[in-house]
Amino acid sequence: MADYVPSPIQWVRDQVELYESSGGTEGTELLDTGLPVVIVTHRGNRTGSIRKTPLMRVKDGDGYVLVASQGGAPKNPVWVYNLREDPNVEVRDRTDVMAMRVREVEEAPERERLWALCVEAFPPYEEYQGKTSRTIPLFLAEPV
Ligand code: F42
C-alpha cells in the first residue's frame, strides 16, 4: 500500500488532519464561510502516493461534483491529472466514507446542469471561472 503524502499547503494539510482525526466531526467547513467541504482521497499519477484533497461539497443525488477551480488560477490543480489517470477515489463527507469512481464531464447539457449546482453550492466558482481562460474541469464522483 502506497504512503499518504500530505499537501504541501499548510492550511490545506491542517484541514485534512483535523477533518480525518475527528472522524469527520470537525474541520468540515471552508475556513470561516460555514460552507461544507469533502475530502477526496486519490492516487498520484507519477508517485502512486495517496493524496487527500479537500474540495467544496457539491451534491448531485448520490454523487458529488468535484470542481478544479484552484481559486481561478491559470493552471489546473495537479489532482486533475491524478483523477484522469486513476478514477477510483474515496470521498469523505463528514462521517460518511464512500468508494467512488469519477468521470470528467465536459459536454452540454450535463456540464451546464452540474455547473449550476456548483455555483449554487459555492457562488465564488463563477468569479473563479471569470478570472481564468481555462475551462474549469468538472468531475462527477459516483458510488461504485
Ligand atoms: N481547490 C479546488 O480546486 N476546488 C475547490 O473546491 C477547493 C475547495 C477547498 C476547500 C477547503 C480546502 O482546504 C481546500 C480547497 N481547495 C479547493 C484546495 C485543494 O484542496 C487543493 O489544495 C488545490 O486544488 C491544489 O491541488 P493540487 O493537487 O495542485 O495540490 C498541490 C499543491 C500539491 O499537492 N502538489 C503536490 C506537490 O508535492 O507539489 C503534488 C501532488 C501530486 O498529486 N503529485 C503527483 C503524484 O504522482 O504524486 C504528481 C503530479 C504531477 O503530475 O507532477
Q: What is the DSSP-derived secondary structure letter of residue 96?
A: E
Nearest to 39 by CA among 107, 110, 90, 106: 90
Name the CA radius of gyration of the chain, rounded. 14
**Residue 42 CA, closest ligand 1 atom number:** 43
From the CB of 83, is ligand 1 less than 6 Å away? Answer: no
Overall average pLDDT of the 100-123 stretch: 98
- Residue 74: the pLDDT is 98
For residue 1, pLDDT over 70 is answered with no
Under 8 Å between Cβ of 79 and 68: yes
pLDDT digit string, tens, across residues 55-97? 999 999 999 999 999 999 999 999 999 999 999 999 999 999 9
pLDDT of residue 141: 98
Q: Tell me if 76 CB under 6 Å of ligand 1.
A: no
Q: Is 136 in the pocket of ligand 1 (CB under 6 A)?
A: no
Which pLDDT belongs to residue 26?
97
Q: How far is the CA of 114 from the centre of ligand 1 (A)?
A: 21
Alpha carbon nearest to ligand 1 atom 21, residue: 53
pLDDT computed for residue 2 by the predictor? 79
Ligand 1 pocket test: pick from 10, 12, 138 the residue with the most ligand atoms within 8 Å of its Cβ: 12
For residue 131, pLDDT beyond 80: yes
Q: What per-residue confidence (pLDDT) applies to 108?
A: 97
* 80 Cβ closer than 6 Å to some ligand 1 atom: no
pLDDT in tens, 10-56: 999 999 999 999 999 999 999 989 999 999 999 999 999 999 999 99
pLDDT of residue 98: 98
Q: Is 54 in the pocket of ligand 1 (CB under 6 A)?
A: yes
pTM tops 0.85, yes or no: yes
Q: How far is the CA of 76 from the centre of ligand 1 (A)?
A: 9
Instruction: Measure the CA–CA gap between 19 and 52, rounded to whole angstroms.
Output: 11
